[in-house]
Structure 1
Amino acid sequence: MVSSLAPQKAAGTQPSIRSKRRAIWGNIWKFKTLYLLSLPGILFFLVFKYVPLLGIVIAFKDYNLFKGVTDSPWAGLKHFQRMFEHYEFVDILTNTLLIAFYDMIFAFPAPIILALLLNELRKVIFKRTLQTVIYMPHFLSWAVIAGIMIEILSPSGGLINRIIEMLGFESRYWLGEESYIRSILVGSGIWRDAGYGTIIYLAALAGINPSLYEAAEMDGANRWKQTLYITLPALLPTITILFLLQIGNFLDFGFERVYVFLNPLNSANADILDTYIYRVGLVEMQYSYTTAVGVFKSVVGLILIVVANQLSKKATGNSLY
């Protein structure tokens, strides 16, 4: 009985597999234009994100540049142990966490607030002009941004110090005092990227049904209540997704963003994991050790985004996956 049913089951399974394959290839052919458009992005992630993952093995070896990855001797968890025992690592990790936390608190809400303010403007020409002006800093490199900020904060002739002197106070060397460098890093990031970040939020605001505002206005709701009970709930899914994406990059503040402002006077509060990896890994050629630091960053980011995604799914119903 069993032997007589087995061939029928196998015969029925094979056509189903073939039909699924035909359906998959049929969908690919049907949407071939979209797949071709996405091909550069797929290749980018393959070449620059997934292929470099093979280099993680260096963190578990005593990598020798001349022996190569395969012939270098295994070291186990030696470099991870050294990372946590190194006297500089705790201070650098603290700097990274504090700067990333300040950036989350002050820089993340900035595009939301800016988009809400722009959405209230009624003169289209003024609104478009203002949008263009606040978008422009995003297209400047961090080297240019740093040059502008250094000139503005210059102790001799800088705009900020001139205003301070006009008010009767003494000028300061802002970039030479470690107590100000974190504020400068976060503030320059807000100036550069807040305007560009409003694009997504303005697109989400454009999708809100105007009849909701009309009904609320007829019920006596002012602009503040309309924002509180209509606009912000409509923006919540977008805010949640972008917040989760930023959580995943919590320790990845950016090498070039900090390095252009770094000097011996402020490095105690500004040296982060990215600049530490550059200094120790590339300059001092300690490749295995700094690869271990990079793996630590990636693992922490993965844990943060998984935990935050689960909390967001339970609290708001919105998540990345």
Structure 2
Amino acid sequence: MKTFEFRHATTVEDAIASGNAPGARYLAGGTNLLDLMKGGVEQPEALVDLRRLALTTIAPTAEGGAFIEAGVTNSAIANHPLIRAQYPVVSHAILSGATTQLRNMATAGGNLLQRTRCPYFMQTAFSSCNKRVPGSGCAARHGFHREHAVFGASDACVAVHPSDMAVALAILDAVVHVQGPDGRRAIPIDGFFALPGTTPDVDNTLRDGELILGIELPPSDLADHSWYLKVRDRHSYAFALVSVAAGLRVVDGVIASAGLALGGVAAKPWRLYEAERILVGRPPGEEAFHAAAARAMDGAEPLPQNAFKIDLGRHSVVRALHMAAAVRGDDA
């Protein structure tokens, strides 16, 4: 591992001043960054430790939503009474990922910033990875790509984002609050992640030195009927082949509003706006759910080894919607 400077930030402003230096990276739980450093994928000049900033609370907002500070651990989010009551899909999603030990360390901000688990990115023995070495090529396109993207990919990169929590945040229209050298700003979750295009080394829309302060969850009407379904090769410690965050508001036996997003299929949570529109105005059930699922995979561009994700995605949408319709928030 390359040697690096280690700095303890004591205030947000202090952290940003240090984090804006060339080659500096923010360190919170370290569950992803330290692994990448050990493997030589990340080689920062300095680490800026955020653990003394005490960004560790979850609080209700004046509007009736919730604000999760960036340093709150995944375990604390998943088990918080406010999240379990008002946003159970977030709790479902977090508890479906990693292990208890990792969830106890990983943070809200770090969860959003974790990098792809594409093997060509994770292992420096592979020389061709545009995300790790821009301009070197994408080995996955002509190599092993069973777990890779079917939406939003480019010739430069077909990797997927690994976060489960982010998929749940997508159907809740979460907002990421950040602060940098130029002040504070709020980024809608749909605009936070970057598709690869011609710059696959850029994972998100953060500017230099910007620090995630927290995640705002607006008031939600999906709490009573929501679910997170994760389909993977094994139940324990595996990333999604396809995942679905599903939420429904049912009024007088009819779907009044819906939220649907896929994980494991793109470099960002893939929101299914058209499938949501198809659901509205229909009674929850087979006909509505299959109609939404039929539209869910429109525009997918699979590679030879991951074409199965098309059919898997449709079936997963139907199952997730059934689970969401059957459950009530206080039963989750």
Query: How would you bin the TM-score normalised by the shorter chain?
Result: under 0.3
The structure richer in helix per residue is 1
In the superposition, the TM-score normalised over structure 1's length comes to 0.21
In the superposition, the TM-score normalised over structure 2's length comes to 0.20
Bigger CA radius of gyration:
1
> Greater share of strand residues, 1 or 2?
2
